[in-house]
């Protein structure tokens, strides 16, 4: 008798996935209730596609694939060292979230999962019906990963795996194969709150609860409008996404590195972003540089907006001429942020000048003016 799960695990590793688990196709009732509550509380505002109707569809696996029996959940690591990330000397550089520094994972993961279904059908000599998701469509990816034993919920809402931490990208195959579900991972974050304390915009408002509208990843990617003033100075030099809550996580300190070629070498085309160069890009320039990467989601205008905020936070006066040029010919939204950035960049200098004038005033007022009053 063929051990279906053994065949699936072996095939998943062959296809380049790092972890794989099997979950039942039962309804995600508790997860549905939690997600709907988050929506009603306004914590998912700014994501018009994330609706109650979508959550309900995602919770009903049999509605997604009639006759569904199991969910095959996979994860692939994108943890790559930053040893080679050095920009041109004297040029301000913006940071990109690790997952977006290589090729767009949606495309190559989905292609592999499709191929996996075909190869699996051949190996077990029967047609395997399957519906595939890679962080798209009505699917509760993290819920499936937890149920399938890939990991546990971190307090920053990411999935933590024992082997690769939270540096994993998730994908699923809903299938008509009847498979024995894997056990859940009996781990938790315990009393650790490091990620909550490290979030600069205080987006993790409680353990396991994220206010999407405060998250730097949302502000730099999904947000299509003006970045609220209250968050700009806390965004540092992030121009696409943010990894802070993952970088400080103790579990991630032991995470294995990725073996996926799409995240190494020449594929790391957006690992370094020259912010001044980004401000001067045309639409064609932007497409030539970022085509085939997740950065395209933010669009040129969004990335130039983000660059203005990063330059303001870096406080490097070398960027002031480029920011002033944007005020003349940039898009309206970009100009709004460019007007803010030089003030932030010059603020330390103005503060220093102000202190000098204050000392001079106090010194000479006391000596030269006050005696004659």
Q: Which residues does the annotation mark as catalytic?
A: 135
The CA–CA distances, whole Å, from 230 to 97, 226, 234, 324, 336 equal 22, 11, 8, 23, 15
Is residue 288 packed enough to be buried (19+ CB in 10 Å), middle (13-18) or exposed (0-12)? Answer: exposed
β partners of residue 23: 71
Contact of 153 with 119, CB cutoff 8 Å? no
Q: How far is CA 350 from CA 19, 185, 252, 281, 317, in A?
A: 53, 54, 40, 30, 12
C-alpha–C-alpha distance, residues 12 and 9, integer Å: 5
Tally of CB atoms within 10 A around 156 = 25
Residue with tokens 């970009």: 334
Does the CA dihedral 22-28-30-34 come out positive or negative? positive
DSSP label at residue 161:
B
Structure tokens, 117? 């279904």
**Those residues with Cβ within 8 angstroms of residue 109's Cβ, 6 or more apart along the chain or in another chain:** 76, 134, 169, 171
Strand order in the sheet with 93-96: 238-240, 93-96, 273-274
Report the C-alpha gap between 165 and 252 in whole angstroms.
5
């Amino acid at each position: 008798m063929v051990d279906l799960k053994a065949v699936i695990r072996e095939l998943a590793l062959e296809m380049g996935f790092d972890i794989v688990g099997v979950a039942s196709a039962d309804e995600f009732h508790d997860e549905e209730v939690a997600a709907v509550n988050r929506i009603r509380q306004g914590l998912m505002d700014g994501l018009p596609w994330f609706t109650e109707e979508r959550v309900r569809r995602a919770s009903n696996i049999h509605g997604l694939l009639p006759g569904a029996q199991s969910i095959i959940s996979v994860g692939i690591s994108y943890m790559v060292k930053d040893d080679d990330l050095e920009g041109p000397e004297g040029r301000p550089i913006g940071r990109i979230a690790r997952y977006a520094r290589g090729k767009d994972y949606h495309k190559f993961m989905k292609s592999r999962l499709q191929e996996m279904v075909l190869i699996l059908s051949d190996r077990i000599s029967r047609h395997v019906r399957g519906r595939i998701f890679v962080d798209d469509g009505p699917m509760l990816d993290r819920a499936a990963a937890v149920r399938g034993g890939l990991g546990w919920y971190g307090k920053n809402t990411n999935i933590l795996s024992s082997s690769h931490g939270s540096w994993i990208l998730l994908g699923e195959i809903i299938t008509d194969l009847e498979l024995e579900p894997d056990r859940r991972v009996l781990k938790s974050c315990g009393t650790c709150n490091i990620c909550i304390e490290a979030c600069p915009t205080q987006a993790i408002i409680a353990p396991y609860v994220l206010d999407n509208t405060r998250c730097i990843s949302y502000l730099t990617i999904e947000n299509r409008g003006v970045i609220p003033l209250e968050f700009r100075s806390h965004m540092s030099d992030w121009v696409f996404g943010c990894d802070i809550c993952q970088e400080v996580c103790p579990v991630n300190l032991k995470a294995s590195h990725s073996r996926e070629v799409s995240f190494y070498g020449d594929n790391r085309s957006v690992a370094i972003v020259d912010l001044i160069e980004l401000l001067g890009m045309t639409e064609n320039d932007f497409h030539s540089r970022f085509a085939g990467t997740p950065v395209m989601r933010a669009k040129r205008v969004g990335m130039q907006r983000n660059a203005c905020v990063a330059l303001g936070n870096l406080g490097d006066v070398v960027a002031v001429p480029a920011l002033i040029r944007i005020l003349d010919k940039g898009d309206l939204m970009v100009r709004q942020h460019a007007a803010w950035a030089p003030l932030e960049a010059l603020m330390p200098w103005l503060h220093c000048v102000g202190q000098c004038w204050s000392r001079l005033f106090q010194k000479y007022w006391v000596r030269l003016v006050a005696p004659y009053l």
